[in-house]
Structure 1
């Protein structure tokens, strides 16, 4: 289970991550990742709407996402620069109700890798006229 420090609890933080965060879409989830200079930890939030299913199905999906996030927490923490934290909001799509845990885990892992690659390439200095690989 995620520690309290690793959970997004305020609605304003959810809105900020969804509106201003980088979006990574998978078959079962949409992941929003936003740097958080106010915090030094990685925080996760989960959005599972009624479109996913009944209460039992939604809670199952939420528990699977939380377990995947807990396992990937060290990898997300390594992606930060150590000084500022990161807010990660995962929105479950209706297809996630039938998705196995491994597939949800893979999507969160892929989002982390894509975010790391995106932030590394955006920091690469380029001179005028040169082309990024």
Structure 2
């Protein structure tokens, strides 16, 4: 996702699921002919440029494996909170899974059982 309008729509009009290290906003759209779009927000509150880029790369890598879970045409924004800077990769994965499960309506999974980011 690159357009500011898409970020604004997902954040202002979409559903939200927050965790300690990140917040995920998702807006479902009726445009079934387009793939889901994902954007990342990592502010200066997370850390310096090197830290922000590291967090963004980790989140991008995690979302790559979960992209198939998103409905077609949806807009998803992953916003990193300051604790994401010191969180281990496995913790980011687990919290992203819990947030996505909540947004996608899958309540059957136990967030404590998944610490390695796998299903």
Do they superpose with TM above 0.5?
yes
**Number of aligned pairs?**
105
Matched, 1:49 2:43: yes
Where is the helix percentage greater, Structure 1 or Structure 2? 1
Structure 2: gaps (5+ residues): 107-119
Deviation beyond 3 Å, 4+ runs, structure 1: none
Quick check: 2:26–2:77 contact (8 Å CA) kept in 1? yes
TM-score by length of 2: 0.82
Matches within 5 A, 1:1-133: 8-38=1-31, 40-76=34-70, 80=71, 84-117=72-105
Mapped partners of 1:106, 1:37: distance in 2: 29
Stretch moving more, 29-38 or 87-96 = 29-38
Structure 1: gaps (5+ residues): 1-7, 119-133
Structure whose CA Rg is larger = 1
* Aligned alpha-carbon RMSD (Å): 1.4
User: How far has the Cα of 1:40 moved from its partner?
Assistant: 2.7
